[in-house]
Structure 1
Amino acid sequence: MRYFRCLKFAILGISISISLLVHAQEKGKSKPDPKSLKFTKWTPDFEVPNPVGISFDDKTGAAYVSATERRKANDLDIRNNRDWIPKDLSFTSSEEKRAFYHEQFTVENSEKNRNRVKDYNDDGVHDLKDLQALSDRIYKIEDADDDGLADTRSIYAEGFTDEIAGIAAGVLFHESDVYTTIVPDVFKMRDTDGDGKSDTRKSIAHGFGVHLAYAGHDMHGLTVGPDGRIYWTIGDKGLNVTSKEGLNFKFPNHGAVLRCVPDGSNFEVFARGLRNVQELAFDQYGNLFGIDNDSDNEGEKERFVYIVRHMDAGWRSNWQYRRPDYNPWMAENMSVPFRPENQPGHIVPPIRLYENGPAGLVFNPGTALGPEWENYFFHTSAPNGQQWAFQVQQKGASFEMVNDMQIGNGIPIVGINFGPDGALYGVDWGGGYPLNEKGAVWKWDVEEKNPKIRDTTEKFLAEDFSEIETSLLDDYLLLPDQRVRLKAQFELVKRGELEAFEKLTRIPLDAKQWQFREWGRRGVIHAIWGIGQINRNSDQPNFRSLIDLLEHDEAEIRTQAVKTIGEQFGAHLAVHEVSYPKQQGLFDERTLLTRKIIPLLKDDSDRVKFHAALALGNLGIEEAAQPILEMIDALDDVNFPYLRHAAAVGLTGCASTDFLVGVYDEDFELEHQVAVDALRRRADPAVGKFLNALTSGVCEDAARAIHDDWTIPEAMPELAAALETTKLVRSEPFIRRATNANLMLGKAENAGRVAAFAVKTDVPEILRLDALDALAKWTEPPVLDRVVGRHREHDPRDPEIARDALRPRLGDLLTDQNTKIQTGAMALARNLKIDIDPNVLVAVGKNPQALPALRIEAMRGLAAQKKPAELSEVLGQIWNTPQPEVRVAALEVTAAEFPEEALEKIRVILESKVAAFSEKQAAFRLLADSPVASESGDAILKNYVDDIKNVPAEIQLDLAEAAIARKIEGAPEPDFSHTLAGGDAKAGEDIFMNHIAAQCIRCHKVQDGKGSNIGPNLKWIGRKKDRAYILESLVNPGAVIASGYGTISLTLKNGDSVAGQFRSEKDGVIEIRDPEGKITKVKSDDVKERTPVITTMPPAGLILQKREVRDVIEYLASLQAPEKKK
C-alpha cells in the first residue's frame, strides 16, 4: 500500500493538485478473510421496529431507516386472500385496485372482511378506515456522542396511510432530501427548519403497485446512479405510470427497475420482467446489478442479474399462480441462465443462480472496510440470516461472478449500506418478517482498518462542495472513493462546467504505473458521466468530446462514451408498445451520431458493440439497421443473450417493418430471433410471418409475441391457423399457444381445428389432452388464461360450436389406443351433453382392466345421461373393485342418484373393517353435504359422535367436521389433534410443492439438490421424527426449532450484544453460532435481555385448512431417506 501527498503533475495544461491522501493499492492485494469482519449492534439501547432499508447523510453520519407497520396488516397479501386472485390479476392500474377496495371494504361488508383486515381503529367494523389505520415510518438514528454506537432515534416522517399504500421499503438520503418508496408513490421530503422532521413532502412519481400480489413485492432499492438519476425497483405488484413528459409505462404484471431525475421528471422503466429485486448496486464503471427472488417453484433458485436498459428478464406476476398447471416460466427455462436452445429469445436471462432470500446489496465504493475488500459486492440473505460477498469480472458483453464467499451467518439482515465512516451497516427486522416491533441496526467492520484513508474520505463526504473551487473539484474526480467522486461530479454539473469535464476527457491513460492509469481512467469516466448529465439538462446538448472518445484507445472509455450518447435518447423504447420509429430529416444531429457510432459495431470489444447497438436503437436512424444485423452474424454462445438483446433493441428503434419482415429471407436463426423480438416490442402483427420459420425456437418466439402479455390481436388468426399447418406438433410452447389462440377466437372453424388436432395420434399425449381441455372450456373460457394465466375475459359462447366440432371425431377419440384420451373424450362429451351409447359406457364401467379414471368417467356419463338401470348394473360390479378411488367415486355417484341406497352403503362402509379410510372419509363428507345429508344421516353421525373415542384417528377429523356442519349435539370441535393420521400423501406433496401461501418448498428441501436451504432438509423427517413432532413443527414452529435454524439476540449485563443462530441452552449456558461462524457460549445469568428464538416459518394452521395439514403430515411422514454412510 502506498500513499501520495501533494501530488502534482501537468497533463495537457491541466494542473492537477491533490493535497490529500490518495489511495493507491499495489497489485496482488491479500485475499479477504471473512473472519476479519466483526459484527456489532449499532443500536444496543433501543429497538428499531420492523426496519427495511437504510441510507446515510454522509455529512452528519445520521442514518435514515425505513420501517413498516403495514406489511400484511394494511398492505394486504394475496396469499391470505386467494379468492381474489382472478380479480387482482384483472387490475391494470393502482386506481383500479383502489376502486375495488372502496367496493369491498364497506361497513356493510364488515363480516366478510373480518379475515382480511383487523379492526385496527376499534370502531367495531372491518372497513376501509382500518386500511388507513397504520403508517410506516422513516426513522432518523444518530450517534450523538460519537462513541461508535447510536444513541438517539426520532421519527423523521410518518402519516403514510393511503388505503392502498404499501410498505416503506426503500429510503435514500441525497443532497438534503430524503426519498422513500411507498406504493403507489415515490416521495421526496426535506427537513427545512432543522428540527429533525420532514416538513415538505411531494410525490414525484405515482401509479405503482397495481396488484396486491405477495407482501414485500413493493418498491425498494433506492440509490443514485452515476448519471445523477434516482434508481429503484418494484416487485411484480407492477406499475402503470405516465411520466411528466406524457409517456405511459404500462407494465402491470412486471417487476422492474425504474429511474427519474431527482425532481421526478424523465421517468423511465429502465428494465422489466423481474420478479422482486430488492436492492440495486452500481459498480465502479456504472454497471448495474441485482439479485432477483425466485417464485418458490420446485427446483428454482434466486438469480444474479446484470441489469441493462430496455431488458426483459421474462417474469410476469401471472406466472405465479400457474402451479401445478403448465407454467411457461419453468417449462420454457426462463428462470435459468442462458441456454442456446429451449429458452425464449426475447429475454435476458440471469448470469447465474444464487443464494436464497436475497435482500440487501451494495458495492464497496472504494475506501470502505479494508483494501482487501475493494471492488466487492456485499449481499444479505435475510430469512436464513446469511451474508455474502463476491466480485464480478467481464465476460464478453456481460459479466460472471467470481470470488464469492459467505461472510456472516445468524443475523437476518434486510437492507444494507455503507456509512461515511467506511463501515457496513444493515437493518435486522428481528427475525423473519413479523410485525413484532423488534429490530436493530448492525454494523460490521474489519478489525484492522486503515483509519487514515477512511478518515480522509469521511471528511470529504462531510465537506460542502459548493464552496470548493472548480479546479480542486476536478482533482476530486481522481480520488479512490466513488462517493466522493460522484459528489464532485454532481457539483460540477450544477455549475455547468462542461469545459472542465472536456479537459478531463483528454487525460492520457498510457502511464507506466498502473495506479496513475487507474486515477486517470476514473477522471475520464466521471467526466463522461458529467457531460451526459449536462447534456440531459440542456436544450442544445454538445456531443463533440464524446464523439472524439468513440475512437479512444481504451475499450472502457469507448464503452462509456457511446453509452452516454445513447442515454440521451430512447425513453420511447421503454413503453409497453413501442411506436413505429419516426425518421428525421435528411441529416440532423442524430444522423451524425449514428454514423459515428456504426463503426463500433465491429469493435474488438463485445462490451463496446453491445452499447453501440443499444445507442443506435435509441437514436432511431434507419441506416443503422443493416449494420446491426451484420453485427450479430458472428456471435458465440457467451454473448448471445446480451448482444442479441442489444441488436433487438437497436432494430426496434431504427428498422422499418419491411426491413424486419425481410429478415425472414435470411437463413440465420439469431437474425430471425432479433427481428421477432423487435416486432414483439412494437406489437407489430407482421411478426406472424415468422410462425413458419425454419427453426422451432423462432416459431415459438413468434407465437409468444402474438399470444402473451397484451397479445397482438391482428396476428391471432395466423397463430390459430398454424395449429393445422405447423410441423412443430411436438413443441409444447408453440402448440399450447396455437390451441389457445383458437379458443380465444372462438369461431366454428377454430373449434374444428382444435378437435382435429386432438384426434392426431402422432403428437404428444399432453398436447392432445390440452386440445380436449380447450374444447371443454369453449363455452366459457376461464378468466385466467389456460397457458399464461393472464386475466382475459370472454363473452359466453354457444356450446353447439364445440358440440359440432366434437361429434364427427368422438368415435375416434373413444376408441383411441390411449386410455387417457378415451377418458378425456368421455368427460368432454359429458360436459358438452353429447350422449354416448350407454352400452359402451356399461362395458367400460364393468371392465376391471380399464383405468380407474375411465371407469369413473363411465359412471358419471351414465348418471349425466339419466340411465339408472345401466348405472345400477355398473355400480353392482364396481363395489368389489380393488381400487378405493373407484369405490369412492361410486359412493359419490350413488349419493347423487340413489340417496336411500347410498345411506345403506355408508352404514356398511363405516362398519366395515376392510374398507379404506378414504371411503370412510368420503362417507362422512357426504353425510355433511349431499342428498344423503338428512335426519337418517344425522342419526348415523350421532352414533359415531357418542363413541368418538373408539373412532379411528384417520377419520376423526372428517367425523368432527361433518357433525359440526350438521349441528349434531355433542359434536367435537375439529382441532389439530385430528390431523395426525388419515392424510393423502400425494395431496400433501402437491401442497408442499405448490401451495401459494404455505410455500414449503421455498424454505426446505425434500431431496438433495431441489428446494431451499433456508430451513432444514426434510428428506428423512418421517424416519427420524414422529407425527406429533411434525404436527407441532407445522402449527407452532417456534416451539420446535431445528438446531441452527432459529435466530436469537442477547443483550448482556455488561452492555455487550450477541446475536446469531441459536444452537442450544442447557446447564445454564446458551450456545450461539455468531455471524463469523464461531460458536459463542454465554452464561444464562449474564444475560440482561433476550429475544425469543425466532424462526421465519409461518404457522401452517393460519394458512392451511386442517385437511391440508393432515395431508402434509402424511406426506412428510412418508419421507424416509436413509442416512448416508460415513
Structure 2
Amino acid sequence: MTGLALTLVAALAAQGEEAAYAPVVHAASDEGLEAMAAIVAADGVELDLVAAEPLVANPVCLYVCDDGSILVSETFRLHHGVTDMREHPDWLDRELANETVADRVAMFRDLDPENFDTYDEGEERLRRLVDRDGDGVMDEAIVFADGFTDPAAGIAASVLAHGEDVYYTCIPEVWRLRDVDGDGQAEEREVLSTGYGVHVALLGHDLHGLRVGPDGKLYFSCGDRGFLVETPGGVLDNTHTGAVLRCNLDGSELEIFATGLRNPQDLVFDAYGNLFTGDNNSDGGDRARWIYVVEGGDTGWRFEYQYIESPTSRGPWNEERLWVPHFPGQAAWIVPPIANLADGPSGLTWYPGTGLDSSYADHFFLCDFRGGASYSGVHSFAVVPQGAGFTLGPVDRFLWGTLVTDIDFGPDSALYFSDWVSGWNMTGKGRVYRARRFDAAGDAAVAEVAQRLAAGFTELDGGSLATLLSHADRRLRQGAQFELVGRGEQGRAILHGATKVDNLFARMHGVWGLGMVGRTERSVLPALRAALHDPHDEVRAQAARVLGDLRDAQAADYLVAHLRVDTARVAHLAAIALGKIGAEMAWKPLAKKLGEVDDSDAVLRHSLVMGLAGCASPEQLVGLLDARERGTRMGAVLALRRLRRPEIAEALADSDPLISLEAARAIHDLPLNAAAEQLAAMLERRVVAVEEQRGRPVRVRAEFWNNLTDGTLAGLRALPGFPQAPDMLADLDRFSLGPNRGDHYGAHLVAEIEVPLAGEYVFWACADDEAEVRLRHSGAPDLEVVAVVPSWTAKRSWTVHEGQHSRPIELKAGEIITVDVLHAEGGGGDHLSVGWTLPDGSFEAPIGDPPSAPPTSVETFDGGRALERRLLNQNL
C-alpha cells in the first residue's frame, strides 16, 4: 500500500538481540589491487582501490553520498531465495498465469515444497562505507539496513540518498529509510509502494534506477517481472512488461511513466530533463537497446516473448524487429530505441559538469556487464538531437577489464564503480574503485563542488542560490533549485527571475522550479506561460512540459501555436502537454501535424498520438480514419489503440496495408474482443482475394558450373565456360538452391514472372557464399542489379548486409518481369534464396513458395498468414 508507514525501531532493537546474520564474505587480500592493474582506463584517468572484501561483497549497486560515504547494496539471495525461470521450465504455465506477488509465492510453495523453507535464508543488505581518516580509502562498513529475507523478496537493486532519506528498492517494495540518531543505521523504514515482482522471470529483472528528476519526483524502473500495485487512486496493473514509474518523494501520486521494457537496470537524466536507459537483450538474436524514455511510450517488449521458441524465437520481438532502431514500415505502436548498444547494460550515470575535461560534456557512462572482467567495462558516449529524438554519437571505452555493476559520480567529481569480481554467481568478494583525472586534486572547481555538496544548501542566502542556478555542475544547479522551491515567496521570486537571465541552464531550472511550486501555488502559471516565448527552443520545450504536468488550460492556445510552427523538439513536448490538458480545440491541429510527420519521426508521432488521444473524442478519431493523409489515419489508429476503442476495427479496411495491420495488431494484442469478429471476417476475405491475385508457381531455369575454386562471383565470370557452356542444367519451381548442394560451383538462375499485384515490390536475397540479383521490368528494360549478397549469410538471414534487399520498385499487375540471379559457392555449407515483398505487405521467400514471415516488420495480411504467425508466436 502506498504510504504504508512501518516504523521499526522496536522491531530492529529486538532483531539486534538475535544472532547477527553472517553470510560468506572473504577476508582481505591483495586481489583487488592485482585486478586493478588489469583495468584499462581512458587517457588521463587514474584508478584507486577504495574498498574491497570484507568491507564489501557481491555489490549489485552503489550510491556515493554528498558527504563522501558510499551506500552499497549487497546480495546474498542470488540462488539462495531468488531463482530464475530457466531453471524451472516445468513452472511455465503457472508463471505465465501469475497476476500478483502472492501468486508467485504460492507457486513456490506448491511447486517447490521441499525447498520452500529455504526461500527466506538469504538476505539482502545495505551497507554504508565510510572513510574515517580522510585518506580516500574506506575504513569502515556499517550495516545501514538488512533483514530483507521474505520469500517474496528479490535482489535489492537500487539505492539513492536524497536529503535525510535513503530510498531503496527490493522487490516487492520501494522503501524509504532514515537514520534518525546519526549512528549510521536506519531506525525508520517506510514502504512507499509494494506489489512489484509478479513473475520470477530471469535473474536481475528487479526494481532499479532510483533517480530524482528535475521535477523533484522520484523515478525508478521495474524489469519485466511486472507489478500490480494498489494506490489510493486505483490499481497500477502492468504484469506483462517492464516499466518506468514516478511518484512524489513521499510515495504519493505513483504513476506509470513508460512501458515496454525488459530489464532497464538504471535510469539517468541529462541536463535537459531527458530520461535514458539501457535495456538488456533476450539472448534470442536481438541486441541490447539504448532508449530515450518518452512519457507514455511503449518500447515493445512483453514478458511472455522470452519463452517463445517457434515458429520464431521470441515471437513478434524478432519477427517484427521491434528491438531495432526506427526503419520505414516498422510497427508504429512502439517508440523504437535510439541505437543497439552494449551486451549487458547495467549501471549508468551522466557527467554532471565537473571533474573531467571538456570532451566529456554531456556524456553518459554505461556499464556493460558480460559475465567476465576481460570483456566487460564502461562505455562513454553522447547523443545528438535528431528531430524530436536522438541519434547516438561515437562510443568509446572509458574503462575496460572490470566486471562492473554500477557507477556514480562522487562529491569529489570522481567516478566510483563497483566490481562484481567474476562470473554470474556470488563470490563473497567485491570492490569499489575510483577513476579520476590525474590533476583533479588541484582543481578549484572540483574543490568548490565538493565543499558545497558536503555543506548543503540550507544555509545559503537567496542571492547565492540564484547564482548557483547558472553553475557548470548540474548537481549544484539542481540543489539550489530544490532549496528555492521550499523558500516560499522569496524562492518563487528568485525562480521567476531566473527564467529571464542570460544563462540557459538558469532559465531551465527556473522553469522546473516554478513547475514544482505550481503544484500547490497556481500564481506561478503566468510566468511559465511567458517562458513559452523564450528565444531558446529548449526553454520553450521545458515550459510546455511543465504546463502540461500542471494541466494549465490557459496555455493551450500557445501550445497549439508551437505545435504548428516550432521545432520538432518543442512540438514533441507541446503535443504531450495538450493531451494532458485535454484541450478539445487542439485535436485538428494535432491530426494535421500527424499527416505532415507520418513515419518520418517516431518520437514526434508518439507525442502527437498522446495529444490526440487526450484531446479528441472517439467519434472524432473514427472520422479521421477517412482522412486523405496517411499519417493522420495512422495516428487515429494509434490513438484508438491507446484508448482501447473497438471502433479501431474500421481501419481494417484501409487501403494502406500497414495501417490495416496496425489495427489488427491492436485488436489482437490488447486484446479488443469486441472487434475480434471484424478481424476474423477481414482475414477470411483477404485470404481469398490474395490467393486469387497471385500467379502460378514460377518456372526457374538453372545453369551450373563446376570447379569454381575461389567461390566468388568474379571467379564465376572468369570461368572459360561462362556463360555459354554450363556443366549442368535444371528446371526449378522456386527461386532457391540447397542447402548443401555441393562445393565450389557457380549458378545462374533466371525466370520470367507475371506480376500478381500492382504496386511497390522489394526483392531480397540470402546466400552462402555470394549472390547478385538483377531485374528487368517495364520501367527498366535492361537488367539492373537490385540486391547483392557480398559474403555468406545463414539460411533465411535476410538482413545481415545492407545491400541484401532492393529499393521499392513499382511494378504493374500482369506485366512480365525477368529475375536473373548469379550465385557462387566455395566450401562448406551452401544455399541460395530470392524472395520478394508484395504491395500487400506479404513476403514470399523464396519466390514460388507460400508466404512467410517478412525480414522486417513490413508484414501485412499475406493471405492471413502474417497474423496467424503473430497469434502462434504471442500465444505460444
Q: CA deviation at 1:368?
A: 2.8
When residues 286 and 762 of structure 1 are mapped into structure 2, their CA distance, relative to the original with a 3 A threshold, is closer
Establish whether residue 723 from structure 1 lines up as the match of residue 684 from structure 2: yes
When residues 546 and 507 of structure 1 are mapped into structure 2, their CA distance, relative to the original with a 3 A threshold, is closer
Contact 1:485 1:526 (8 Å CA) reproduced: yes
1:534 equivalent in structure 2: 517
Contact 1:555 1:605 (8 Å CA) reproduced: yes
1:928-1077 equivalent positions in 2, closer than 5 A: none
1:367 to 351, 354, 357: 354
SS at match of 1:421: coil
TM-score by length of 2: 0.72
SS at match of 2:191: strand
SS at match of 1:166: coil
1:555 equivalent in structure 2: 537
When residues 150 and 322 of structure 1 are mapped into structure 2, their CA distance, relative to the original with a 3 A threshold, is same
SS at match of 2:503: helix
Deviation string 1:1024-1050 (CA, Å, 9 cap, x unpaired) is: xxxxxxxxxxxxxxxxxxxxxxxxxxx
Aligned AA (2:400): N
Contact 1:563 1:611 (8 Å CA) reproduced: yes
When residues 160 and 497 of structure 1 are mapped into structure 2, their CA distance, relative to the original with a 3 A threshold, is farther
SS at match of 1:631: helix
If each structure's strand is expressed as a fraction of its own residues, which one has the higher value?
2
**C-alpha distance in 2 between matches for 1:505 and 1:50:** 48
2:476 to 484, 488, 492: 484
SS at match of 1:553: coil
When residues 553 and 231 of structure 1 are mapped into structure 2, their CA distance, relative to the original with a 3 A threshold, is same
Contact 1:388 1:407 (8 Å CA) reproduced: yes
Q: CA deviation at 1:248?
A: 2.5
1:647 to 603, 608, 630: 608
2:84 equivalent in structure 1: 77
**C-alpha distance in 2 between matches for 1:604 and 1:617:** 18
2:526 equivalent in structure 1: 544
Q: CA deviation at 1:362?
A: 0.5
Aligned AA (1:93): T
Gap regions ≥5 residues in structure 2? 1-40, 692-841, 854-866
2:377 equivalent in structure 1: 386
When residues 681 and 95 of structure 1 are mapped into structure 2, their CA distance, relative to the original with a 3 A threshold, is farther
1:658 equivalent in structure 2: 619
1:686 equivalent in structure 2: 647
Q: CA deviation at 1:711?
A: 4.0
1:41-56 equivalent positions in 2, closer than 5 A: 41-44=49-52, 46-56=54-64
**C-alpha distance in 2 between matches for 1:499 and 1:761:** 62
Q: CA deviation at 1:207?
A: 1.2
1:498-897 equivalent positions in 2, closer than 5 A: 500-501=492-493, 504-505=496-497, 508=500, 520-538=503-521, 540=522, 542-569=524-551, 590-635=552-597, 638=600, 640-725=601-686, 729=690
Q: CA deviation at 1:47?
A: 4.7
Q: CA deviation at 1:724?
A: 2.5
Q: CA deviation at 1:665?
A: 0.9
1:311 to 297, 316, 320: 297
Establish whether residue 420 from structure 1 lines up as the match of residue 424 from structure 2: no
Aligned AA (1:673): M
SS at match of 1:72: coil
Q: CA deviation at 1:725?
A: 4.0
Percent identical pairs in the alignment equals 34
When residues 215 and 713 of structure 1 are mapped into structure 2, their CA distance, relative to the original with a 3 A threshold, is farther
**C-alpha distance in 1 between matches for 2:99 and 2:848:** 33
Contact 1:351 1:400 (8 Å CA) reproduced: yes
Aligned AA (1:168): A
1:1065-1104 equivalent positions in 2, closer than 5 A: none
2:331 equivalent in structure 1: 344
Aligned AA (2:90): D
When residues 766 and 195 of structure 1 are mapped into structure 2, their CA distance, relative to the original with a 3 A threshold, is farther
**C-alpha distance in 1 between matches for 2:417 and 2:688:** 56
Establish whether residue 470 from structure 1 lines up as the match of residue 470 from structure 2: no
**C-alpha distance in 1 between matches for 2:415 and 2:689:** 54
1:323 equivalent in structure 2: 309
Deviation string 1:134-181 (CA, Å, 9 cap, x unpaired) is: 110101001111111111112111111121111111111111211111
Aligned AA (2:42): P
Gap regions ≥5 residues in structure 1? 1-32, 107-125, 510-518, 570-589, 731-759, 772-784, 795-1126
**C-alpha distance in 2 between matches for 1:404 and 1:647:** 31
**C-alpha distance in 2 between matches for 1:274 and 1:163:** 25
Contact 2:462 2:494 (8 Å CA) reproduced: no
Contact 2:80 2:118 (8 Å CA) reproduced: no
When residues 451 and 96 of structure 1 are mapped into structure 2, their CA distance, relative to the original with a 3 A threshold, is same
Establish whether residue 36 from structure 1 lines up as the match of residue 19 from structure 2: no
Q: CA deviation at 1:420?
A: 0.5
Establish whether residue 430 from structure 1 lines up as the match of residue 421 from structure 2: yes
Aligned AA (1:691): L
Q: CA deviation at 1:324?
A: 3.4
Establish whether residue 289 from structure 1 lines up as the match of residue 276 from structure 2: yes
Contact 1:232 1:258 (8 Å CA) reproduced: yes
SS at match of 2:547: helix
Give the superposed CA RMSD. Answer: 2.8
Contact 1:498 1:531 (8 Å CA) reproduced: no
Q: CA deviation at 1:630?
A: 1.1
**C-alpha distance in 2 between matches for 1:481 and 1:497:** 26
When residues 228 and 459 of structure 1 are mapped into structure 2, their CA distance, relative to the original with a 3 A threshold, is same
**C-alpha distance in 1 between matches for 2:386 and 2:401:** 34
Report the count of equivalent residues: 667
Aligned AA (2:58): N
Contact 2:53 2:430 (8 Å CA) reproduced: no
1:235 to 200, 204, 223: 223
When residues 247 and 491 of structure 1 are mapped into structure 2, their CA distance, relative to the original with a 3 A threshold, is same
SS at match of 1:312: coil
Contact 1:501 1:528 (8 Å CA) reproduced: no
Contact 1:729 1:763 (8 Å CA) reproduced: no
Deviation string 1:502-541 (CA, Å, 9 cap, x unpaired) is: 66456556xxxxxxxxx72111111111111112245x46
Contact 1:39 1:445 (8 Å CA) reproduced: yes
Contact 2:304 2:874 (8 Å CA) reproduced: no
SS at match of 2:421: coil
**C-alpha distance in 2 between matches for 1:719 and 1:376:** 50
Contact 1:547 1:561 (8 Å CA) reproduced: yes
1:444 equivalent in structure 2: 435
2:740 equivalent in structure 1: none
When residues 716 and 99 of structure 1 are mapped into structure 2, their CA distance, relative to the original with a 3 A threshold, is farther
Contact 1:291 1:358 (8 Å CA) reproduced: yes
Q: CA deviation at 1:205?
A: 1.1
**C-alpha distance in 1 between matches for 2:193 and 2:869:** 34
Aligned AA (1:86): D
Larger radius of gyration: 1
Contact 2:104 2:198 (8 Å CA) reproduced: yes
1:93 equivalent in structure 2: 100
